[in-house]
Amino acid sequence: FLRCAEVAGQAEFAYFDVVDSVSGSTLRHKEAVYPFHHHYHLDEPFLNDIPFVTKTIRMLKEKPEDEFAYDAVEVERSMRRKYEIK
Protein backbone atom coordinates (compact mmCIF):
# COMPACT_ATOMS: atom_id res chain seq x y z
CA PHE A 1 0.00 0.00 0.00
CA LEU A 2 2.90 2.31 0.79
CA ARG A 3 4.42 1.47 -2.59
CA CYS A 4 1.14 2.42 -4.31
CA ALA A 5 1.29 5.85 -2.68
CA GLU A 6 4.98 6.23 -3.63
CA VAL A 7 4.33 5.34 -7.27
CA ALA A 8 1.42 7.78 -7.53
CA GLY A 9 3.47 10.57 -5.95
CA GLN A 10 6.53 9.92 -8.13
CA ALA A 11 4.32 10.12 -11.23
CA GLU A 12 2.96 13.44 -9.93
CA PHE A 13 -0.55 12.17 -9.22
CA ALA A 14 -2.24 13.32 -6.02
CA TYR A 15 -4.72 10.44 -5.59
CA PHE A 16 -4.94 6.75 -6.37
CA ASP A 17 -7.52 3.98 -6.26
CA VAL A 18 -6.81 0.24 -5.95
CA VAL A 19 -8.43 -1.44 -8.95
CA ASP A 20 -7.21 -5.01 -8.37
CA SER A 21 -5.25 -6.82 -5.67
CA VAL A 22 -3.70 -10.29 -5.90
CA SER A 23 -1.66 -12.11 -3.26
CA GLY A 24 -0.03 -15.50 -3.15
CA SER A 25 3.33 -17.20 -3.03
CA THR A 26 5.93 -18.70 -5.33
CA LEU A 27 7.78 -21.90 -4.50
CA ARG A 28 11.38 -22.18 -5.69
CA HIS A 29 13.81 -25.04 -5.22
CA LYS A 30 16.71 -24.18 -2.98
CA GLU A 31 20.09 -25.44 -4.14
CA ALA A 32 22.08 -27.37 -1.54
CA VAL A 33 25.58 -26.01 -0.94
CA TYR A 34 28.38 -28.14 0.43
CA PRO A 35 31.98 -27.33 1.46
CA PHE A 36 34.53 -26.24 -1.13
CA HIS A 37 31.85 -24.52 -3.24
CA HIS A 38 30.40 -27.73 -4.62
CA HIS A 39 26.75 -27.53 -5.59
CA TYR A 40 24.75 -30.72 -5.68
CA HIS A 41 21.28 -30.93 -7.14
CA LEU A 42 19.40 -33.28 -4.87
CA ASP A 43 15.86 -34.57 -4.93
CA GLU A 44 15.35 -33.38 -1.35
CA PRO A 45 12.50 -30.96 -0.70
CA PHE A 46 14.43 -27.76 0.01
CA LEU A 47 12.06 -24.99 -1.08
CA ASN A 48 11.85 -21.23 -0.66
CA ASP A 49 8.31 -19.94 -0.22
CA ILE A 50 8.30 -16.35 -1.51
CA PRO A 51 5.10 -14.40 -0.77
CA PHE A 52 3.95 -11.60 -3.06
CA VAL A 53 1.24 -8.96 -3.32
CA THR A 54 0.38 -7.23 -6.58
CA LYS A 55 -1.86 -4.19 -6.71
CA THR A 56 -3.16 -2.48 -9.83
CA ILE A 57 -3.88 1.18 -9.20
CA ARG A 58 -5.59 3.98 -11.07
CA MET A 59 -3.82 7.29 -10.56
CA LEU A 60 -5.73 10.58 -10.50
CA LYS A 61 -4.61 14.22 -10.62
CA GLU A 62 -7.68 15.44 -8.72
CA LYS A 63 -9.95 13.89 -6.10
CA PRO A 64 -13.06 12.45 -7.76
CA GLU A 65 -16.32 13.83 -6.41
CA ASP A 66 -18.42 10.68 -6.84
CA GLU A 67 -15.84 7.96 -6.01
CA PHE A 68 -13.43 7.11 -3.20
CA ALA A 69 -9.71 7.66 -3.77
CA TYR A 70 -6.70 7.62 -1.45
CA ASP A 71 -4.64 10.77 -0.94
CA ALA A 72 -1.14 9.63 -1.96
CA VAL A 73 0.72 12.13 0.25
CA GLU A 74 -1.38 11.33 3.33
CA VAL A 75 -1.12 7.56 2.87
CA GLU A 76 2.65 7.73 2.47
CA ARG A 77 3.11 10.07 5.43
CA SER A 78 0.80 8.02 7.67
CA MET A 79 2.37 4.64 6.84
CA ARG A 80 5.94 5.91 7.22
CA ARG A 81 5.08 7.36 10.64
CA LYS A 82 3.17 4.25 11.80
CA TYR A 83 5.88 1.77 10.78
CA GLU A 84 8.82 4.12 11.49
CA ILE A 85 10.09 4.11 7.90
CA LYS A 86 12.38 6.95 6.84
At residue 69, the 3 state secondary structure works out as coil
Beta bridge partners, 39, equal 33
| Assessment of whether the complete model's pTM goes beyond 0.85 | no
- Terminal CA-to-CA distance of the chain, rounded, Å? 16
| Residue 1 reports pLDDT greater than 60 | yes
User: Under a CB-based contact definition with an 8 Å cutoff, are residues 72 and 3 in contact?
Assistant: no
Task: Compute the distance between CA of residue 4 and CA of residue 58 in angstroms, rounded to an integer.
Answer: 10
Domain assignments of the chain as residue spans, ordered by start: 2-82
pLDDT at 35: 61
Q: What is the pLDDT of residues 48-83, one digit of tens each?
A: 889 999 999 999 999 999 999 999 999 999 999 999
